[in-house]
C-alpha cells in the first residue's frame, strides 16, 4: 500500500506503524469519565467492513501521526490527513 503523506508525498506503508481506529484520538477526560467509558474507548472497536479511519505513525519518516481513510475490503486509500489537523478541527488545539 502507498500512503500519500500530506507533506512528504507518496510513501510505502512499510515506513509506517499502524495503531488502529482513529476514534482512539477521542480519549475520555480522565478527570470526569468513569471506568465503563474508558473500557469502551480502550477495548471496543467498530471494526467496519468498508471505509475505516485509522491512525498510522510515520516512524521511518517525519514521525508525524496521520489519519488515513482506507477501505478494509479493497485496501484503497481515499484520504490522508495529518492527525494534528484532525485534532485541531475538533477544537483540540491548545
Structural contact between residues 71 and 54, judged by C-beta atoms closer than 8 angstroms: no
The least CB distance from residue 44 to other proteins, in Å, is 4
From the list 7, 12, 29, the residue with the least C-alpha distance to 84 is 7
By C-beta, is 6 or 20 nearer to other proteins? 20
The least CB distance from residue 86 to other proteins, in Å, is 18
Binding string to other proteins for residues 63 to 92, with x set by CB under 8 A, is what? -------x-xxxx-----------------
By C-beta, is 12 or 85 nearer to other proteins? 12
Cell, residue 42: 480502550
The least CB distance from residue 91 to other proteins, in Å, is 25
Surface-to-core class of residue 91, CB atoms within 10 Å of its CB (0-12 exposed, 13-18 middle, 19+ buried): exposed
Amino acid at each position: 500500500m502507498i500512503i500519500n503523506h500530506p507533506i512528504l508525498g507518496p510513501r510505502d506503508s512499510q515506513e509506517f506503524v499502524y495503531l488502529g481506529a482513529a476514534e482512539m484520538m477521542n480519549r475520555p477526560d480522565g478527570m470526569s469519565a468513569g471506568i465503563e467509558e474508558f473500557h469502551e474507548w480502550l477495548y471496543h472497536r467498530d471494526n467496519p467492513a468498508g471505509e475505516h479511519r485509522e491512525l498510522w505513525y510515520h516512524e521511518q519518516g517525519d514521525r508525524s501521526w496521520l489519519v488515513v481513510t482506507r477501505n478494509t475490503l479493497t485496501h484503497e486509500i481515499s484520504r490522508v490527513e495529518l492527525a494534528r489537523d484532525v485534532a485541531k478541527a475538533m477544537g483540540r488545539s491548545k
